[in-house]
Amino acid sequence: MNPRLLLAAVVLGAIALSGLVYVVDEAEQVIRTQFGRPVGDPVTTPGLHFKVPLIQKVHRFEKRFLEWDGEANQLPTRDKRFIWVDTYARWRISDPLKFFQRLKDERGAQTRLDDILDGETRNAIANHDLVEVVRTTNRTPEVDESQTEEERVVLETIVDGREKIRLEILAKAQARTGDLGIEILDVRLKRINYVAEVQAKVFDRMIAERERIAARFRSQGEGEALRIQGERERDLKRIGSEAYRAAEEIRGRADAAATEIYARAYNRSRESQSFYEFLKTMETLEATVDPETVLVLSSESDFYGFLKRSAGP
């Protein structure tokens, strides 16, 4: 046999075999089409499968969970508060045949999910007040013992809450995707935030609240400081007065003891008494007279009498 003909036959056989056989992965599910129309049942079991070469075409779809991440939208609540809401979801292709007929591919599915999930989120947010969207339960707020009754937070009672709103969005979105061959597994509100204008006002109010509490603490601290300072000054005066009284008592007892000693020393004779009188007179004279002092003494004064006697006959 001609080697060239043999080689051509092998190549044609390989091409025909490749068009006849296809492999399905564990994470895939397959739809076969013939001239653009689906044929047969969806292939969901992994392994080796066959098709008509050149006529039938294989379309592969994910069997695993897929992600939908929506854009943050500015939405109004029932109480006319504008907020940014960012959502995400998880979904899967539950019926590949319907999915192919209605949506063709994942890009078409993402576009349709944008319409469904964004619309249901908008409707749910518009039917509830902001407090319902933000909170989940009617929890009891923590109490700060340092706060007054006016400063303590009182939370408004909610009826539904964010979790029920999320389940409402999920249920309505699932009802709208049932005939598309996809199943929405979960929807979550990823982030909720005020618009920039409202956010600035909220921050200003929070700052004012913190400053008011800080001013109250500062006032209490200043009052406590004044009280401590007053007690300190009172204690200092009390300690000083007690020390002065004790010192005066000691000085009085010392003077009394000294006087008693002087009395015993100078009361022994007439001469000692005269000497003591002279000594005390001189001490007084020394304390009251300086070199520039001019004394005018009467002849009957003690100073004159002592000076006259000291001058001799």
Band of residue 153 on the pLDDT scale cut at 50, 70, 90? low
pLDDT of res. 200: 78
Q: How far is it, in rounded angstroms, from Cα 266 to Cα 195?
A: 104
CA geometry: angle at 140 spanning 137 and 144, to 5°? 140
89 near 184, Cβ under 8 Å? yes
CB neighbours of 118 closer than 8 A, spacing ≥ 6?
Answer: 70, 71, 73, 87
pLDDT of res. 89: 95
CATH architecture of 66-139+157-194: 2-Layer Sandwich (3.30)
CATH 3.30.479.30 residue window(s) in the chain:
66-139+157-194
Instruction: Compute φ and ψ for 6, nearest 5 degrees.
Output: -65, -45
Q: Which two tokens stand for residue 175?
A: 């009802």
CB neighbours of 253 closer than 8 A, spacing ≥ 6?
Answer: none
Band of residue 47 on the pLDDT scale cut at 50, 70, 90? confident
Q: Is 81 exposed, middle or buried (0-12, 13-18, 19+ CB in 10 A)?
A: middle
pLDDT of res. 197: 75
307: Cα within 13 Å, side-chain hemisphere? 11
Give the chain's mean pLDDT. Answer: 82
Provide the whole-model pTM: 0.60
Q: How far is it, in rounded angstroms, from Cα 110 to Cα 237?
A: 84
Q: Is 208 exposed, middle or buried (0-12, 13-18, 19+ CB in 10 A)?
A: exposed
